[in-house]
Amino acid sequence: MTERRRILFLDHAGVLGGGELSLLSIARAFRDEAEVILFEDGPFRRKLAEDGVAVSVLPMSGKLRTISRDGGLLNDAAAIPALLGHCLKVARLARSSSVIYANSQKSMIVGAIAGALSRRPVIWHLRDLMDVAHFSSGHIRLAVGVANAFVSRIIANSEATRDAFIASGGKAAKTLTVYNGIESDPFDSVDPSTSSLLRTELGVTESDLLVGCFSRLSDWKGQHVLLEAIRKHPGWHALLVGDAIFDADTPYKSMLETLASRYGMADRVHFLGFRDNVPELMAACDIVAHTSTAPEPFGRVIVEGMLSRKPVIATNAGGAVELIRDRQTGLLVPPNDAIALQGAISSLEQDAQLRATIASQGHDEAVSRFSSDRLVREVRAIVDSTRGGT
Ligand code: UDP
Ligand code: GLC
């Protein structure tokens, strides 16, 4: 591979969040010209390596690790010497690439400086909604300022993400929306016998209603709203697939466990932890619920629910609104509203025709708008035009 063609992908995370799973499909498609640098080790590195992607870990030193999404700028300032050291190392690696592609906010800051040092253009795949529901205003100013100054192209994962970036002062001319793409094969090739097996293992009968939530356990992902919504319905079960993959979310996980036992429903709230077989688990559910209480930037799990041919209920904010047409390809409910969620579950439970129509129309919409081929094509066009200097 010539230097001209190489892409240096950066991500700070070693865990498998939605941003990392999305990069996995992109890096796989660019395998022959990609090198991925992660700032911590973990299952993401192993997945990339299994898929034949060149990946290495450049660990962040102590102070750099303490920068958090809601932390203050003083804390960030203390991390500057470590940050510069890290940027220098990335700049050295970038010399054998034609473009730097940062997949997360922390890696964008590093990539932007490394790009200036190595004179390589930088693309930022922006997967976060830059608003105060998610970040401190200092962090938003810092990230937007650095991106405006040093990043050539910003790829937003939804119009909501793009709008929030621009509303925070981000340059509109550099920013374009590319929706995520999800491979449909794993959802189409689920063996149906695994579904009934799973329900039996969980003690969920055919007449019970299994509502699955497939988000990492985190306050703003709103699993507590689902627990509230099913509380008064003994035949309703919640399948919580996902873990507190970021340390700050561990107390929320304990809170959910406490809530389930306090409400006397530990036998119908099933904590599965992080799982690798989301398509199989979705197939066992009657409904897929997305319960985020803050605007979701995109929400892969919504599209995955649609690809599973399940009726999806999602909260009416952020990118979710661009994925679902209410009562046609899914149901939208206000965020943080357990009564509305309970009502939506109930209307699906009682109306088989509505369930079937939404599931089928949702599936077709997901296939036509969110394919991984379309994602790769759009990303390739942006990478090529950026390294061409346009
Ligand atoms: N996911 C997974 N295993 C789990 C829980 C979730 O593989 O146990 C995946 C899920 O299928 C989805 C991603 O994690 O692809 C979450 O992405 P999303 O965009 O919904 O949310 P994020 O975590 O990025 O905010
Ligand atoms: C982020 C967002 C999520 C999005 C994912 C992939 O993790 O929180 O909404 O789907 O990135 O772009």
Tell me, what CATH number does 119's domain have?
Answer: 3.40.50.2000
Which ligand 1 atom sits nearest the alpha carbon of residue 17? 23
Which ligand 2 atom sits nearest the alpha carbon of residue 21? 6
> Which tokens hold the place of 148?
């405006």
The ligand placed nearest to the CA atom of residue 318 is 2
Residue 54 in any domain: the answer is yes
Task: Give nearest CA residue, ligand 1 atom 21.
Answer: 18
- Asked if 32 and 97 sit in the same domain, the reply is yes
pLDDT tens-digit map of 201-248 = 999 999 999 999 999 999 999 999 999 999 999 999 999 999 999 889
Which ligand 2 atom sits nearest the alpha carbon of residue 300? 10
Residue 143 in any domain: the answer is yes
Residue 336 in any domain: the answer is yes
Which ligand 1 atom sits nearest the alpha carbon of residue 275? 8
- Asked if 48 and 151 sit in the same domain, the reply is yes
Task: Give nearest CA residue, ligand 1 atom 17.
Answer: 18
- Asked if 189 and 177 sit in the same domain, the reply is no
Inform me whether the pLDDT recorded for 71 exceeds 80: no
Q: Is the dihedral of CA 356, 358, 363, 365 positive or negative?
A: positive
Of 298, 306, 315, the residue with max ligand 2 atoms within 8 A of its CB, to mutate for a pocket test, comes to 298
Residue 144 in any domain: the answer is yes
- Asked if 71 and 216 sit in the same domain, the reply is no
Q: How far is the CA of 60 from the centre of ligand 2 (A)?
A: 23
Residue 2 in any domain: the answer is no
What is the rounded CA–CA span in Å between residue 272 and residue 293?
Answer: 21
- Asked if 322 and 381 sit in the same domain, the reply is no
Q: Give the end-to-end CA distance of the chain in Å, rounded to a whole number.
A: 22
Per the structure, how many domains does the chain have?
2
Residue 1 in any domain: the answer is no
Which ligand 1 atom sits nearest the alpha carbon of residue 273? 8
Within 10 angstroms of residue 88's Cβ, the number of other Cβ atoms is 13
pLDDT of residue 390: 42
Inform me whether the pLDDT recorded for 62 exceeds 80: no
Q: How far is the CA of 17 from the centre of ligand 1 (A)?
A: 6
Task: Give nearest CA residue, ligand 1 atom 10.
Answer: 301
Q: If you average pLDDT over residues 160-174, what whole number do you get? A: 98
Per the DSSP assignment, residues forming a β-bridge with 332 are: 314
pLDDT tens-digit map of 73-122 = 666 677 788 889 999 999 999 999 999 999 999 999 999 999 999 999 99
φ/ψ of 153, rounded to 5, equals -135, 140
Cβ neighbours of residue 299 under 8 Å, at least 6 residues apart? 18, 290, 292, 314, 318, 319, 320, 323
pLDDT tens-digit map of 335-389 = 999 999 999 999 999 999 999 999 999 999 999 999 999 999 999 999 999 987 5
pLDDT of residue 328: 98
- Asked if 151 and 12 sit in the same domain, the reply is yes
Per the DSSP assignment, residues forming a β-bridge with 22 are: none
Which ligand 2 atom sits nearest the alpha carbon of residue 17? 7
DSSP code of 242? B
DSSP code of 267? G
Which ligand 2 atom sits nearest the alpha carbon of residue 157? 12
Report the share of the chain in percent with pLDDT over 90.
91
- Write the single-letter amino acid at 21: L
Q: How far is the CA of 131 from the centre of ligand 2 (A)?
A: 14
What is the rounded CA–CA span in Å between residue 200 and residue 195?
Answer: 9
Question: Structural domain of residue 147, as residue ranges?
Answer: 7-181+371-387
pLDDT confidence of 131, banded at 50, 70, 90? Answer: very high
DSSP code of 211? E
> Which residues line ligand 2 at a C-beta cut-off of 6 Å?
17-19, 22, 127, 157, 180, 296-300
- Asked if 120 and 201 sit in the same domain, the reply is no
Q: DSSP letters along 317-362, please?
A: SBTHHHH--BTTTBEEE-TT-HHHHHHHHHHHHH-HHHHHHHHHHH
- Asked if 206 and 304 sit in the same domain, the reply is yes
Report the share of the chain in percent with pLDDT over 70.
94
Identify which of 218, 231, 240, 238 has the alpha carbon closest to the alpha carbon of residue 262. Answer: 231
Cβ atoms of 314 and 323 within 8 Å: the answer is yes
- Asked if 118 and 204 sit in the same domain, the reply is no
> Which tokens hold the place of 175?
């920013």
Q: What pTM value is reported for the model?
A: 0.95
239: three-class secondary structure by DSSP: strand
Inform me whether the pLDDT recorded for 188 exceeds 70: yes
Residue 22 in any domain: the answer is yes
What is the rounded CA–CA span in Å between residue 319 and residue 325?
Answer: 12
Residue 128 in any domain: the answer is yes
The ligand placed nearest to the CA atom of residue 216 is 1
Q: How far is the CA of 215 from the centre of ligand 1 (A)?
A: 5
183: three-class secondary structure by DSSP: coil
Find tokens 């932390």 and name the residue: 71
Of 301, 308, 375, the residue with max ligand 1 atoms within 8 A of its CB, to mutate for a pocket test, comes to 301
Of 15, 21, 103, 127, the residue with max ligand 2 atoms within 8 A of its CB, to mutate for a pocket test, comes to 127
- Asked if 223 and 167 sit in the same domain, the reply is no
- Asked if 119 and 143 sit in the same domain, the reply is yes
Q: How far is the CA of 241 from the centre of ligand 1 (A)?
A: 9
- Asked if 133 and 199 sit in the same domain, the reply is no
